[in-house]
Chains A and B, each alone.
Chain A
Amino acid sequence: MSTLRLLGCLDGVNAEVLGQAISQLWPSASGQQPQVGLLYVIDTRPRGELERRRERFWRPPHLPLARQEQLRQAERETAQEILQEGARYVRGAELLQREGRAEQEILRCAQEWGATLIVLCARSPRGERGPEQGPASVGHVARFVLDHASCPVLLLRGSWSLASAKEGPA
């Protein structure tokens, strides 16, 4: 039987929740430890917003070089911090970083990395508007991954994950 290759999707605030879920579902004592990859995607959509704004004010869409570099550096450093944080909760995980639209990059990475299960939160508590339960409680990233993933997807609901986090590791 081949080893489970589990791709956990970090969003900047869910490292602990993801770590708790993995440790509860695959306790280290069970002897069936999956290979875990932790993915963080730098979302490039807001940059598109900046470009549109510049065009409205009669400027070329790209930012001045110095500003562009400053912004990219902030994004890269933050991404590294988030991945390192994830590694503290999921020991031995492979760290993966991508850039682009989160939903598309998750699917692309899952395919390239050979993931057999994708684990992600239904909605980032900070990233998107919307309720935690009921209709529209699954954010657009999770919805897109559910709709298009070619492997099973494990969706962590906000309430479940918060409750487990409070209970502590099993």
Chain B
Amino acid sequence: MFLLVPLPALTRTLLTALIALLTLVGIMTRPFRWNEALIALAGAALLLLLGLISPLVALQTLLGDWNVFLFFLGMMALSAFADQAGLFDWLAIVAARLARQRARLLLLNVFLIGSLISMVLSNDATALILTPVVYTLVTRLRLPVIPYLFACTFIADTASFLLPVSNPINILVLSRFQLDLWTFLRLLWIPALAVIAINIGVFCWLYRREVRGSFDLKRLPSPEEAIKVPGYFRYCCLVLAAVAVAYVLASANGFPLSCVALAGALLLLAGALRWHQFRPRELAEHISWSLFGFIAGMFIIVQAVEETGLTRLFGELLLRLSGGSTLGAVLVGTLGAALGTNLINNVPMAVVLTASLQALHGQLAPTTQLAFVAATIFGCDLGPNLTTVGSLATVLWLLILRQRQLDISGLDYFKVGILVTPLMLLVGAVLIWLLL
């Protein structure tokens, strides 16, 4: 209705800020368990209806971020095809066989395959596909489920900045800041290895009683049992190896990573058709369609906020908090991102932070900007390990249930997260600063 009535700038700013704030609060609290995508899209629709962002600008924003959308699609499709080929089951069985019947070694191997899968296929694949596979495996081996389950869920995020493709958040941040592969690796590879080592070390200590002893190898299926069609499995491994190499080459040359992911997915689709393994329903189950709505909504909302100059103010606040130093930038970026991801989930946090940093373009020294960008990636990737649930509201809910004498594994996760994540964040942040 306001499309026809020009509003004063202050009113526009206040309205936009209010809608953005309400959307973020909605995402944080999820009233009536509404889907976050619905909340984000409702916020964006309201902005469009009130004329606080023009449809053309909204469209341009979405089209400008095509690489992010297509990467999400390609990444999820790659994981789905790999799962259909039995790759995850096969890897888990091989990891168990290599553990020489020792439960502790199996925990270590779960961390290692989790890191490998996160690195190449993203944290999404580790958290969503590897975790139930490992769950099934340790159930058969009669080992306690929780240490292995938590190992998968933690390592998914801990190992998610080994490569730009290891977490879609990285693509989201890098779509606004061109960071070449060498700089990415120089700043984040060593911190990634350090936090993985901390994660493994803390878990081995924390679960030392549960994972002592051995398991019976007879209960373990053979690796061949995991492979449904050997020809398709081999083909799938070959394509994924090629995709991994192509990812590195594309990152090094600034080629859009979404094209690599989609090309890989198309090759796997061709293979699935050739070996009669194409199951569209299963494939669709692996793809989160609501995620696209959520990102689209968030992009439009943040763009509207950007136009009011509020993101610039937020960026300036971050800059002031950092004191203009690189150490300050790394610490403020890391802690801000980590806290934000636990309040409103890491996708909106990454969008808000990158928009704020972009608004400061030209105002930041190159090293300070680099520090902020690396810290944003690091904090947004690792931060969710603090609560796993990605929202403070859920943690509070778990605490209430705990008072009623119910044992909740989510709360266990929070306890582990609160123990290990701040340590990893601190060590990683200091390492990033040293590597700048």
Contacts and interface: CB of A to CB of B under 8 A. Distances in A.
B153 to A, nearest CB: 6
Interface residues on B, range: 35 or more
Contact of B286 (A46, A64, A74): A64
A75 interface: yes
Interface string B381-413: 000100011100010000000000111111001
Interface stretch (B61-69, B131-139, B238-246): B131-139
B358 to A, nearest CB: 25
Contacts of B418: none
B285 to A, nearest CB: 4
B124, B144, B213, B282 pick with most chain A CB within 10 angstroms: B144
Contacts of B37: 58
Interface in B271-285: 282, 285
Contacts of A64: 282, 285-286
Interface string A32-76: 000000000001011011101111111100011111001100110
Contacts of A103: 407
Given A45-B407, A52-B389, A128-B210, A57 B124 contact: yes
Contact of A49 (B209, B294, B413): B413
A106 interface: no
B136, B384, B390 pick with most chain A CB within 10 angstroms: B136
Contacts of B209: 125-126, 129-130
Given A58-B37, A66-B282, A75-B139, A52 B388 contact: yes
Contacts of B146: 46, 49
A62 to B, nearest CB: 10
Contacts of B294: 58
Interface string A116-158: 0000000011111110000000001000100100000000000
A38 B220 CA distance: 25
A57 B288 contact: yes
A94 B118 CA distance: 46
Contacts of B291: 58
A48 B410 CA distance: 8
Contacts, number: 101
A92 to B, nearest CB: 24
Interface string B404-428: 0111111001000000000000000
A70 to B, nearest CB: 6
A115 B213 CA distance: 34
A75 B138 CA distance: 10
B290 A58 contact: yes
Given A49-B410, A50-B132, A126 B210 contact: yes
Contacts of A46: 135, 145-146, 149, 409
A74 B288 contact: no
Nearest to B413: A49
A112 interface: no
B369 interface: no
A50 B384 contact: no
Nearest to A78: B139
Contacts of A70: 132, 136
A4 interface: no
B203 to A, nearest CB: 12
A162 interface: no
Given A49-B413, A57-B124, A77 B140 contact: yes
Given A46-B145, A49-B410, A130-B209, 9 more contacts: A46-B149, A49-B146, A52-B394, A53-B128, A55-B389, A56-B345, A57-B124, A57-B128, A65-B285
17 contacts: A43-B145, A45-B409, A46-B135, A46-B145, A46-B146, A48-B408, A50-B149, A54-B128, A56-B390, A57-B124, A58-B37, A58-B291, A65-B285, A77-B140, A78-B140, A101-B407, A103-B407
Identify the 8 closest CB pairs spanning chains A and B, nearest first.
Answer: A58-B288, A58-B291, A64-B285, A46-B145, A74-B136, A74-B139, A49-B409, A140-B407
